Chains A and B, each alone.
Chain A
């Protein structure tokens, strides 16, 4: 009997499997129940196929989305186009990521009471984005493809996160017919968060930070540019011979010869470490958005490849949002605020979510940041007059990334060195020609728009 009795433990094993499963499920419930309840088609929160969440407003209170209105989206076509990628479209080609992430907070779902005490008319979600600035950016892009982003590097609020091209969600294009000229190519992609671009010369800010980390004395050196350098039998050229130049000049001239040398002096290890510090290979997750990973991989690189990688070519890829944060970190002395899109949600007159500020890890040493701030300020003074805004110190670097035989991606990234307007920005225009010429006017228009909005809030 003894041995038989001991084998009844089999029932106990089954009971334990059952209990363990239920425990696991209970944990999953507390982690994910709010996602389940607001998933598309959930019978408790969807009426007639629509999530009755209430309203989404921009930072000024302008309604961008309302589940109560028949047309769902903003009244003006201009705003609808400018906020398309934030709100999603009706067909679901662009998912309403923010709405989905906060749906349960909007109708006041809680895991204790379930939907029993839910506010059936929904609540309000306030974005950090300004519809006005989005519209300015959208118009400035003039239908070209790319992304424009601005954020407050002290608080983390994203004021502008535009993806272009766009369309009016109430009058969506028929891609079969309307895209003969390719103007809607990739229109469903939220480029600011979900595209990765070859950075071109704006990557020199990363290379320089890495090199300064290895050799701080670099700041006082001079470089000689003959217009070309041969590394490992490969030619790296500048548009002209820049001659003797200080580091300041080398950056302002965006001298490839000087920066190929700087990249090699920094070395693979420091370059990779700096790329890691600015999180190029990571994807950020916030407010229902997961940014796409960039790329910086020198594992098989020869010296010529390292040189190209240092000037933002080779296999380098950056995500605009990610790189904008790095601009914020330079401006802010090494660390910036983590970005976010949703300021708060409320339901039934009570706050159900409020954004909390978080700081990024250290992306650059305070010393190097200070140096780069000065260099980037000088850049604007000397080269990018088009982005100068009276009364504000604009700091920036442009880039013209070669992505094909005659296709260039124009990039422009920087920040305002200003306590009143602590804004970092990035502009990317695909097939945009020369970086600063294309992007500086866009950046200026958008930054002025932001300054206006911030002034209005004071």
Chain B
């Protein structure tokens, strides 16, 4: 009971103002919980019954359903279409559905024993009615009837059914209004900036929502999660340095632009493949520019200053890296563009050693690992393993170099696990973080009321230690909610993979998600002394333009794997299961 009363107590006892703040403090985590739960139910609740895109009729009259856009045909057990005949290779062929609804078949391990209508092919188009022969086993590709297609389309779960994204966004809007109400009270001198900034945020999210409605797209949960995290990030900015709110918003604008452009490019694979080439070149140029013009901040030469603007090239290279690594199944199994990816990885690894950015090296390593893991799923790939070991070596070298040459990095590693023994020096950042988390309690001290704001900027409280900053002012519950939101997106990516159109999207989404998650792990664990501090940002929340833009870019890959009926603008509209796009 007394604990409850304490909840409403302010510095002058229980007053009208203290009750007002208490109600706000309580409302925010509850609203956040609703927002996360509604998004989760919508993203995770869809049924994922296998869809049939075509049939393969065997000579015996048996009908085999083709349930993916990319299908591995072979004798091995985890092939998509298992053909248990002695004459069929373990990995025999890949049957791929194209964007235009047509099909191709590619020889991957048949050693010339693949024929279409009696002609030996390595890779060729297949039309409905064509006879395909795998090592003598004959089958005919047959279309799905219009009626079947319609039935499938109808039984597919529509995005947002039962959990309207509009309502979730409305909840988020209420959340943001309450944030503003609290902030203008505690930061009266910056009232106008705060009002304008949140106004722009609100305007942007609703404009995007309406824009997607106009494109007849119904899913907005992924964006809602991003805007939810951004609302917290902007609140941290308002508390730490209101002047930087506009900078964050500009970064958000650019980020959303990247998100939209990338999303549209990902709509069809041919465009995506072309963009990939450009992106790969852009990545190279960015890192080269970094090495030539880069400036050293805290030991890592990972910043470029350009006419008043500063940015971290490595943030953007993440996107390029994923584009370079993603690939369609026939290319994976025929090992096309494997070498370009390997060379690209080696190049990035080399750049990171020169730039001496241990945090980024760790993130790229996880990104690489995610891609390599997926790419080697059909073939254990010796080359990727070798490159993986190489990347790990890069990581260790980067860490070793950093520790050797930069006392602050050495301090971080030396202080790790012993922060309380040297709380004014090596353990300063983490001990202050834990003190502030403890001070915040479950509901926080109120936005703008914390102490972490005095450690913003050089002390990195609004970037590397943002988990503690949020805990102190917004409460531990809210900080945990940010984690839930990200973990939920991770679960969504995994569930979507089973109904993915192409391995290109699966690899892209999985790698992007892995990067976002590992950033969160490094950020949060570094703050609470589970790992040494690596100076990595928390996605969408930490203050930092480049990081925010890159997060929006990564989000496009996640958006592109949303194959619920007409959910994502990054997927072409279709009203029928197997019909034309």
Within residues 357 to 398 of chain B, which ones have a CB less than 8 A from any CB in chain A?
366, 369-370, 373-374, 377-378
Q: Which B residues are CB-close (under 8 A) to A26?
A: 476, 480
Asked, given contacts A14-B518, A14-B521, A112-B3, whether A19 binds B483 with beta carbons under 8 Å apart, the answer is: yes
Q: Does A172 have its Cβ within 8 Å of any Cβ on chain B? A: no
Partner of B514, one of A10, A39, A109: A10
- Least distance between A174 CB and chain B CB atoms (Å): 25
- Least distance between A44 CB and chain B CB atoms (Å): 4
Q: Does A177 have its Cβ within 8 Å of any Cβ on chain B? A: no
Asked, given contacts A11-B494, A15-B517, whether A114 binds B439 with beta carbons under 8 Å apart, the answer is: yes
User: Bound state CA distance, A41 and B11, in angstroms?
Assistant: 22
Partner of A110, one of B3, B420, B486, B525: B3
Cβ contact within 8 Å between B78 and A3: yes
- Least distance between A6 CB and chain B CB atoms (Å): 8
Say which one of A28-36, A249-257, A355-363, A386-394 lies at the interface with B. A28-36
Within residues 1 to 19 of chain A, which ones have a CB less than 8 A from any CB in chain B?
1-12, 14-19
Asked, given contacts A2-B78, A9-B494, A15-B491, whether A39 binds B506 with beta carbons under 8 Å apart, the answer is: no
Query: In terms of DSSP, what is the predominant structure of the interface of chain B?
Result: helix
Q: Which B residues are CB-close (under 8 A) to A109?
A: 438
Number of chain A residues close to chain B: CB under 8 A: 48
Q: Which A residues are CB-close (under 8 A) to B465?
A: none
Q: Which B residues are CB-close (under 8 A) to A17?
A: 521
- Least distance between B366 CB and chain A CB atoms (Å): 7
Q: Which B residues are CB-close (under 8 A) to A11?
A: 370, 490, 493-494, 510, 513-514, 517
Q: Does A21 have its Cβ within 8 Å of any Cβ on chain B? A: yes
Say which one of B125-133, B228-236, B246-254, B427-435 lies at the interface with A. B427-435
Partner of A42, one of B79, B439, B520: B439
User: Bound state CA distance, A137 and B62, in angstroms?
Assistant: 100
Cβ contact within 8 Å between B369 and A10: yes
Q: Does B165 have its Cβ within 8 Å of any Cβ on chain A? A: no
Q: Does A195 have its Cβ within 8 Å of any Cβ on chain B? A: no
Cβ contact within 8 Å between A2 and B445: no
Q: Which B residues are CB-close (under 8 A) to A25?
A: 524, 528, 530
- Least distance between A19 CB and chain B CB atoms (Å): 5
Q: How large is the interface on B (under 10, 10 to 19, 20 to 34, 35 or more residues)?
A: 35 or more
Q: Which B residues are CB-close (under 8 A) to A5?
A: 497-498, 500, 506
- Least distance between A33 CB and chain B CB atoms (Å): 4
Q: Does B319 have its Cβ within 8 Å of any Cβ on chain A? A: no
Q: Does B198 have its Cβ within 8 Å of any Cβ on chain A? A: no
Q: Does B316 have its Cβ within 8 Å of any Cβ on chain A? A: no
Nearest-CB residue, chain A, relative to B443: A113
- Least distance between A270 CB and chain B CB atoms (Å): 42
User: Bound state CA distance, A378 and B287, in angstroms?
Assistant: 90
Q: Which A residues are CB-close (under 8 A) to B9?
A: 116-117
Nearest-CB residue, chain A, relative to B490: A15
Asked, given contacts A3-B378, A14-B514, A41-B424, whether A115 binds B373 with beta carbons under 8 Å apart, the answer is: no
Asked, given contacts A12-B491, A18-B517, A41-B424, whether A116 binds B438 with beta carbons under 8 Å apart, the answer is: no
Q: Does B446 have its Cβ within 8 Å of any Cβ on chain A? A: yes
Q: Does A243 have its Cβ within 8 Å of any Cβ on chain B? A: no
- Least distance between B500 CB and chain A CB atoms (Å): 7
User: Bound state CA distance, A3 and B379, in angstroms?
Assistant: 10
Cβ contact within 8 Å between A22 and B483: yes
Nearest-CB residue, chain A, relative to B482: A22
Query: In terms of DSSP, what is the predominant structure of the interface of chain A?
Result: helix
Q: Which A residues are CB-close (under 8 A) to B443?
A: 112-114, 116
Q: Which B residues are CB-close (under 8 A) to A70?
A: none
Cβ contact within 8 Å between A114 and B441: yes
Q: Does A385 have its Cβ within 8 Å of any Cβ on chain B? A: no
Q: Does B437 have its Cβ within 8 Å of any Cβ on chain A? A: yes
Cβ contact within 8 Å between A7 and B491: no
Q: Does B329 have its Cβ within 8 Å of any Cβ on chain A? A: yes
Q: Which A residues are CB-close (under 8 A) to B424?
A: 41
Asked, given contacts A12-B491, A111-B442, whether A44 binds B521 with beta carbons under 8 Å apart, the answer is: no
Q: Which A residues are CB-close (under 8 A) to B435?
A: 36-37, 39, 41-44
Q: Does A40 have its Cβ within 8 Å of any Cβ on chain B? A: yes
Partner of A111, one of B70, B434, B441, B486: B441
Nearest-CB residue, chain A, relative to B432: A43
Partner of B444, one of A3, A21, A111, A114: A114
Q: Does B440 have its Cβ within 8 Å of any Cβ on chain A? A: yes
Asked, given contacts A24-B530, A42-B435, A114-B439, whether A4 binds B497 with beta carbons under 8 Å apart, the answer is: yes
Q: Does A350 have its Cβ within 8 Å of any Cβ on chain B? A: yes
- In the A-B complex, the 3 residue pairs with the smallest Cβ-Cβ separation, listed nearest first, are A114-B441, A15-B490, A117-B6
Interface pairs (29), CB distance under 8 Å: A1-B72, A1-B329, A2-B78, A2-B80, A4-B374, A4-B503, A4-B506, A8-B506, A10-B373, A11-B494, A14-B521, A18-B483, A18-B486, A18-B517, A21-B530, A25-B528, A28-B528, A29-B438, A29-B476, A33-B437, A42-B439, A44-B436, A110-B3, A110-B6, A112-B441, A113-B441, A114-B442, A116-B9, A116-B446
Residue numbers of A with Cβ under 8 A of B are: 1-12, 14-19, 21-22, 24-26, 28-29, 32-34, 36-37, 39-44, 108-117, 120, 350
Residue numbers of B with Cβ under 8 A of A are: 2-3, 6-7, 9, 11, 68-72, 78-80, 329, 366, 369-370, 373-374, 377-378, 420, 423-424, 431-432, 434-446, 451, 454, 475-476, 480, 483-484, 486-487, 490-491, 493-494, 497-498, 500, 503, 506-507, 509-510, 513-514, 517-518, 520-521, 524-525, 528, 530
Give 6 A-B pairs besides A3-B78, A14-B518 with Cβ atoms closer than 8 angstroms: A2-B80, A8-B497, A10-B369, A36-B438, A113-B3, A114-B439
